[in-house]
Amino acid sequence: MYHYIYFHCLIHIILIFRVQATVKERNELDSKLCFHSSFAFGVATASFQIEGAWNVSGKGESIWDRYTHEHPERVFDHKNADVADGSYYKVKEDVQLLSQLGVNFYRFSISWPRILPDGLSNNVNEDGIRYYKELIEELRKNKITPVATMYHWDLPQSLQELGGWTNPIIADYFVDYARVLLDNFGDTVKVWLTFNEPLTFCENGYGGDDAPGGRSSGFEDYMCGHNVLRAHGMVYRMFDQKYRKITKGVMGITNVFPWIEPATTSREDQKAADAARQFMFGWYANPIFSQQGDYPQVMRKAVDANSKRQGFPRSRLPYFTAEEVEMIRGSFDFMGLNHYTTYLAAPGSGKISTKPSYQDDINAIITQKDEWPKSNSTWLRVVPWGFRRCLNWIKNAYNNPKILITENGVSFEAGLHDTKRVNYIDAYLRALHAAIYKDGCHVLGYTYWSLMDNFEWMRGYSERFGLYQVDYESQNLTRTPRLSAKYFSNVAKTGCLPDDYTDYTYNTD
Ligand code: GBH
């Protein structure tokens, strides 16, 4: 209990740097929708998507380097992230952008192969340590709290040669890597996330077409997930035992949870929606955040049964030992949550083919409504009310954990006058405000994805999520604030949503 209260306070204190004056300002504006002064605002990026310098000063090759070089045809615009936003060379410039925004924190990720070129801790690349130390120091000078993700998908290629996340040994190597990070940055980074979206990199990476391009759905994706959960639990336990006291930090994991609404109110659709939530979110949340731990029961039952029907002598979803269940259960100080959009679910046909597939295991038809406003990403429609439902579902399922929204954002066409993005952020923040102050959800802060346009994985540079526009034609990759940067900086600095958009020519088209 003591620990609980202690960490509750600690993460608040760590994230908050907002100036006192804004509290007064806010009291004068009762009519406005305001977040409590302890609520933190930030923006996020990820190493592979912004750094470039892919083979500079000792950095090793990552699976995304290899994949985009070998298969340019699989990337929408046939581009790669060799240069990306050049952030490796722009520490001061990028921190200036953050400072102009007035955000409390910056969520960035650390490139494993920049720190450990071969993935292994016997060879530490000093330039990698230097680079992140410079970034962290620059943030500190500007009173911006660093929030670091240990793994945002850029696995060292050398470890992929051993099977990557499908090989159980990788959990040990991830622990070694985490130890190097905590030894080097533990004194200055107080908020840690082990992983970004295991669902995405296991499902799309080992079950689909993202790097490393495993395309082994319903099989390698489950192995990946299993080892990621073990690796997370092991790193959290090491942190708890060896680093927590000396670093005074906190640690969590980021999962992605699109809201899943039943397509109709029928019992069948509700059941399908519940199963889909468990397969998408519960897969990674239940073992860590639920009272009982382990995989969600619907998932366990469905994959076990389907594996049997397909003639496998054992389930395609691996089993944790009793010790592993205990190690993973409760391995968090807070929950990182990425939320972008909402889907509808209806029951699938129940048919399975002999070839395993995650989709068959879920057995749901996932769609979106035509009338929901589109973005520039096929998977992302604007459905702010889904955010509130998502947060309430988590509150009920996992005993109202402390949540840090680690990503929320939207892609639109290039251009500086992005009223549609302003509209999206404002609407999602209103839904979040209701979830916190009307429903009692325990949310500590909000992170917009992304600080600036960047390499959008298989979509190349074709989808833009940035508050700052990046001019990829210009020599120095010029960053220019969009209207949404002005809007978001106003929100971050005051903690309030503006009443009207006279300044921003708000419209909802
Ligand atoms: C985030 O994931 C990532 O964490 C971040 O790196 C990324 O830049 C951001 O999204 C914006 O894209 O193409 O139909 O197969 C959000 C969840 C999961 C959404 C994978 C896109 C692929 C859908 N993502 N999904 S599809």
51, 204, 260, 343: residue to mutate for ligand 1 pocket, most atoms within 8 A of CB: 204
Residues 256-273: pLDDT tens digits? 999 999 999 999 999 999
Distance CA 55, CA 47 (A): 13
Answer whether 203's CB lies under 8 Å from 379's CB.
Answer: no
Closest ligand 1 atom to 153 CA: 6
Q: Whose CA is nearest to atom 8 of ligand 1?
A: 456
Tokens of 72: 């340019």
Asked if pLDDT for residue 505 goes beyond 90, the answer is no
SS3 33: strand
Number of H helices, E strands in the chain: 20, 15
Per-residue pLDDT band for 499 (boundaries 50, 70, 90) equals confident
Determine the average pLDDT of the residues in 384-390.
98
In 10 A of CB 126, how many CB atoms? 10
Residues in contact with ligand 1 by the CB-under-6-Å rule are: 46, 196-197, 200, 204, 256, 338, 340, 378-379, 407, 449, 456, 465
| CA 246 to ligand 1 centroid distance, Å | 35
User: In angstroms, what is the span from residue 325 Cα to ligand 1's centroid?
Assistant: 29
- DSSP letter assigned to residue 148: E
User: How sure is the predictor about 476, in pLDDT bands with cuts at 50, 70 and 90?
Assistant: very high
Helix (H, G, I), strand (E, B) or coil at 98: helix
- Which of 33, 139, 197, 107 is closest to 448 using CA atoms? 107
pTM > 0.85: yes
What pLDDT is stored for residue 13 in this prediction? 62
- pLDDT band of residue 504 (cuts 50, 70, 90) is very low
Residue 75, both tokens: 């990337």
Q: How many whole angstroms from 458 Cα to the centroid of ligand 1?
A: 9
Active site residues: 407
Find the helix packing angle between 170-185 and 126-141, rounded to 10°: 50
- Please name the helix (run of DSSP H) or strand (run of DSSP E) that holds residue 387, with its range, or none: helix 384-397
Statement: residue 91 has pLDDT above 80 = yes
- Quick one: average pLDDT of 78-105? 98
Q: Which two tokens stand for residue 504?
A: 């921003």
Percent of the chain with pLDDT strictly greater than 90? 92
CA 185 to ligand 1 centroid distance, Å: 28
* Averaged pLDDT, 383-409: 98
Contacts of 82 (CB under 8 A, 6+ apart): 52, 54, 55, 65
Band (22; pLDDT cuts 50, 70, 90): very low
pLDDT at 391: 99
What is the C-alpha separation between 236 and 333, in angstroms, rounded? 9
pLDDT at 472 over 60: yes
Ligand 1: atom nearest CA of 409 is: 11
Q: Region 177-201: what's the mean pLDDT?
A: 98
Whether residue 502 has pLDDT greater than 70: no
**Residue in 379, 381, 455 to alter for ligand 1 test, most ligand atoms within 8 A of Cβ:** 379
In the predicted model, what is the mean pLDDT of residues 472-485? 98
Which DSSP letter does residue 377 get? S
User: How much is the average pLDDT of 463-487?
Assistant: 98
Q: What average pLDDT does the segment 339-352 reach?
A: 97
Q: What pLDDT, on a 0 to 100 scale, did the predictor assign at position 9?
A: 55
The pLDDT of residue 438 is 98
Q: Is the pLDDT of residue 36 over 50?
A: yes
From 21-30, 166-175, 206-215, 287-296, the region with the lowest mean pLDDT: 21-30
Cα 195 to averaged position of ligand 1 atoms, centre (Å) = 14
340 Cα nearest atom in ligand 1: 16
With 90 as the cut, is the pLDDT of residue 166 above it?
A: yes
| Domains in the chain, CATH or no CATH each | 35-497 (3.20.20.80)
- The mean of the pLDDT values for the chain is 94
Kindly state the average pLDDT of the residues 53-80. Answer: 98
- Give the per-residue SS3 of 412-443: ECCCCCCHHHHHHHHHHHHHHHHHHHCCCCCE
**At a CB cut-off of 8 Å and minimum separation 6, what does 358 contact?**
203, 207, 217, 218, 221, 222, 279
Residues 299-325, mean pLDDT to the nearest whole number: 98
Per-residue pLDDT, averaged over 446-461, amounts to 99
